Amino acid sequence: MSVPLPVSIFIVEDNAWYGELLEYKLAQNPDYVIRRFTTAQACLDNLSDKPDIITLDYSLPDGQGDQVLRQIKERLPEVAVIAISGQEDVRTAIGLLRQGAFDYLVKDEETADRLWNTVGNIRKQLELRQENTRLKEQIGQKYDPQRAILGESPQIKQLYTLIDKAARTNITVSISGETGTGKELVAKAIHFRSDRRDGAFVAVNVAAIPRDLLESELFGHEKGSFTGAISRRIGRFEEAHKGTLFLDEISEMDLGLQAKLLRVLQEREVSRVGGNTRVPFDARLMVATHRDLGQEVKEGRFREDLYYRLLGLPIVLSPLRERGDDILLLADAFLKDFCSQNNMATCTLSGAAQQKLLHYNFPGNVRELKAVVELAAVLAEDDQIQPQDLPLRHGATDAAAPDIMPNESLRTQMAAIVQRYLDVHNGNILQVAAKLQIGKSTIYRMVQNNEIRIR
């Protein structure tokens, strides 16, 4: 649990005796750092010190409370101002509260005690705000691309660049890639690096919501608009106001709702189901799909006008089988996290287990790799994972070894094997030579003879 920060308090009171009384009361808490001023101007001159709380006498020799409050709030909108007056005037109190005062206290024998309670309540709010800021910083660090999306392959380095570019603007981002490649993770990385990081990140899996409920889910509904609508409900577009709305599996949306979505994006306002009021929203949109949206348009399953509206900045995620040694880097990270979370001794992959992972096709991509190595950590007899501990699916294509070609020469088949290993290991000739136990000069000659190529 974090230690509360000191609370800075300004007491603005022209009556020296009364000011000392308030200071004496509040000083009983050693975490309160108190400064006292007898004029409004003295307080205003010191606002650069950014106090957390100001107690403000309504009648000062150089300014009325409402005027001073307005000047304070213009410069420090977040500061909590407690107005204190010698007269119990309801209209004055209401006016100050509307201007942004936190509370209004009348001077009497109980004022110091009420002030103590009010400052205590403000302190609790400050601590919650501090904790909220800390949690947001942690979330931002969690989704920092180079922490959340591990890899050293050229594909991942290019992805980091695109995430940075996307985070600088509010351009719509369309993310495509096979299932399990981390599309939502990329969307979160963009959101938490953007200037919308303090807003909500609202994710909707279009494929997981029944078609007859998806419109209400996205746009909201009014009470009584359909059977079961017992109260008004705001939709995900409104929830994402000032933040980001992420629509996963956008290709699964039916054509009728696609037309409504297009109108919403053009008008930047939604109408709840069963309602006539148009509600403006300010949300950044990101979409994802495992399908080829361009092909979906050609086959009539996706609107062309919506396709171009959503295209924005396209980001294509490479399947894990094309990322070479990123497989081992990710496997190691997943193992460390899993063992730490389960109070287990850290597991490592044997050389043979590493080769088995590198030669596997991973149809489920990163999601499958995570599940495989976590289960392997449980199945392993000791702290080193062996090939038999890896529960890989039978029949998945080998990522490194091509099929036998009975009608081709040995030289041609050798070239195919070397080419496959080069593709898997991102053209690293030294690494491929070591894995195949052949001389690097052999590979260089094959490149010169155009038998293989570095892609």
Q: Is 157 helix (H, G, I), strand (E, B) or coil?
A: helix
Contacts of residue 106, defined as CB under 8 A and 6 or more positions apart, other chains included, come to 84, 85, 86, 87, 88
- Percentage of the chain beyond pLDDT 90 is 56
Q: Are 330 and 172 in contact (CB under 8 A)?
A: no
According to DSSP, the residues that pair with 349 across neighbouring strands are 385
Whether residue 399 has pLDDT greater than 50: no
Kindly state the helix (H) or strand (E) to which residue 330 belongs, with its residue range.
helix 326-341
Whether residue 141 has pLDDT greater than 60: no
Of 218-222, 246-250, 432-436, 446-450, minimum mean pLDDT range:
432-436
For the chain, state the CA radius of gyration.
31
Residue 402 banded pLDDT, cuts 50, 70, 90? very low
**Can you give the pLDDT at residue 400?**
44
- Percentage of the chain beyond pLDDT 70 is 91
Whether residue 246 has pLDDT greater than 90: yes
Q: Tokens for 2?
A: 């974090």
Contacts of residue 253, defined as CB under 8 A and 6 or more positions apart, other chains included, come to 206, 214, 247, 261
Whether residue 353 has pLDDT greater than 80: yes
**Can you give the pLDDT at residue 214?**
93
Q: Are 292 and 301 in contact (CB under 8 A)?
A: no
Of 4-18, 52-66, 118-132, minimum mean pLDDT range:
118-132
Burial class (CB in 10 A: 0-12, 13-18, 19+), 70: exposed
Residue 34 banded pLDDT, cuts 50, 70, 90? very high
**Can you give the pLDDT at residue 392?**
85
Whether residue 145 has pLDDT greater than 70: no
Strands (E), 303-400: 313-316, 348-349, 384-385
**Can you give the pLDDT at residue 37?**
95
Q: Tokens for 443?
A: 């590979």
What length does the chain have? 455
**Can you give the pLDDT at residue 52?**
94
**How close are the terminal C-alpha atoms of the chain, in Å?**
52
Q: Mean pLDDT, to the nearest integer, of 94-115?
A: 89
Which residue type is seen at 421? Y
Whether residue 168 has pLDDT greater than 50: yes
Which position has the higher pLDDT, 11 or 418?
A: 11
Whether residue 142 has pLDDT greater than 60: no
Strands of the 201-205 sheet, one edge to the other:
201-205, 244-248, 284-289, 173-176, 313-316
Kindly state the helix (H) or strand (E) to which residue 271 belongs, with its residue range.
strand 269-271
Q: Are 202 and 321 in contact (CB under 8 A)?
A: no
Q: What is the mean pLDDT of the chain?
A: 87
**Cα gap 314→204, rounded to integer Å:** 19
According to DSSP, the residues that pair with 314 across neighbouring strands are 174
Q: Are 51 and 34 in contact (CB under 8 A)?
A: no
Q: Is 234 helix (H, G, I), strand (E, B) or coil?
A: strand
Query: What long-range pairs does 436-443 form, CB within 8 A, spacing at least 24?
Result: 443/418
According to DSSP, the residues that pair with 84 across neighbouring strands are 57, 105
Contacts of residue 236, defined as CB under 8 A and 6 or more positions apart, other chains included, come to 202, 204, 217, 218, 245
**Can you give the pLDDT at residue 2?**
52
Count other C-beta atoms under 10 Å from residue 409's C-beta: 9
**Can you give the pLDDT at residue 64?**
85
Residue 149 banded pLDDT, cuts 50, 70, 90? confident
**Cα gap 124→127, rounded to integer Å:** 5
Q: Are 50 and 7 in contact (CB under 8 A)?
A: no
By C-alpha distance, which of 231, 265, 266, 239 is closest to 250?
Answer: 265
By C-alpha distance, which of 251, 237, 146, 253 is closest to 199?
Answer: 237
| pLDDT one-digit tens code per residue, 261-320 | 999 999 999 988 888 888 999 999 999 999 999 999 999 999 999 999 999 999 999 999
Kindly state the helix (H) or strand (E) to which residue 10 belongs, with its residue range.
strand 7-12
Which position has the higher pLDDT, 371 or 144?
A: 371
**Cα gap 115→122, rounded to integer Å:** 10
pTM value?
0.61
